[in-house]
Amino acid sequence: MAALAPLPPLPAQFKSIQHHLRTAQEHDKRDPVVAYYCRLYAMQTGMKIDSKTPECRKFLSKLMDQLEALKKQLGDNEAITQEIVGCAHLENYALKMFLYADNEDRAGRFHKNMIKSFYTASLLIDVITVFGELTDENVKHRKYARWKATYIHNCLKNGETPQAGPVGIEEDNDIEENEDAGAASLPTQPTQPSSSSTYDPSNMPSGNYTGIQIPPGAHAPANTPAEVPHSTGDVRLTPEDFARAQKYCKYAGSALQYEDVSTAVQNLQKALKLLTTGRE
């Protein structure tokens, strides 16, 4: 891909989107679709924050140029031309990043790459809002991932050993979302995978994500149901039901591109349950 024109200095008003823009930059070569939607999220958010101040207008104008250049380069990529495919791509990418960090955490392997993966997963879930409201599951993932990134970063900084897994978080308590704490130890320049502990969906074996054991109450994804109820009579499906079933099938197809069998099976079973019972 051709290099994008650089952006002007980030206006102070846009501090809340600086990490999303950094994530976009890091994914320009690794996954241009992720890079595109990170910039789209930054653009939409920036417009809401301040689209009138001259420096903000200039910044947003240059960001728009980057978006248009990316869209042109990506051409007829389905993840760009079809929102449902783009949403599936982002959700699967964020989930795999979350599961990589969650695996490292539960195994007691605490390092900067897993902190970065937790935090980046939370940022990508922010980005999913360009497609509409987040699911309850995504909201929980984002809250848990951001808390974990901040907690483990602070422990390592203070020379303490973090507790593995979902220990110490209470579901009813709001987590203070400290933007800087979660990313303070993250590299400011794009990084390339340098070791087996670095997250990169293109080279991570699928075995790292399948068969993951999730303790009750954890914010990680629910286990795949063992059985799907069979239809008991004439099920009347609405157009919305068909659309949701189609969405699950798209998610499954996107997961298979990453050889992520467990996510594919989970989404196909959701579609099957919806089509056979009329309920999710």
CA-to-CA dists, residue 187 to 19, 112, 145, 182, 267, angstroms? 11, 9, 18, 12, 34
169 torsion bin: left (phi>0), alpha (psi -120 to 50), beta (else): beta
* Domain span(s) for CATH 1.20.5 in the chain: 237-275
The per-residue pLDDT string of the chain (280 residues; one tens digit each, 9 = 90 and over) reads 678 888 999 999 999 999 999 999 999 999 999 999 999 999 999 999 999 999 999 999 999 999 999 999 998 899 999 999 999 999 999 999 999 999 999 999 999 999 999 999 999 999 999 999 999 999 999 999 999 999 999 999 999 999 998 865 544 333 444 444 444 444 333 333 333 334 444 433 333 333 333 333 334 443 333 334 444 466 788 877 787 788 888 888 877 766 778 888 888 888 888 788 888 8
Q: What stretch(es) of the chain map to CATH 1.25.40.270?
A: 10-79, 81-156
CA 72 to chain centre: 24
CATH architecture of 237-275: Up-down Bundle (1.20)
Rounded (to 5) percent helix, strand, coil in the chain? 60, 0, 40
Q: Which CATH number fits domain 81-156: 1.10.240.10, 1.25.40.270, 3.40.50.300, 2.50.20.10?
A: 1.25.40.270
> 10-79: which CATH topology?
1.25.40
Q: How far is CA 63 from CA 9, 41, 75, in A?
A: 11, 11, 18
What is the reported pTM? Answer: 0.65
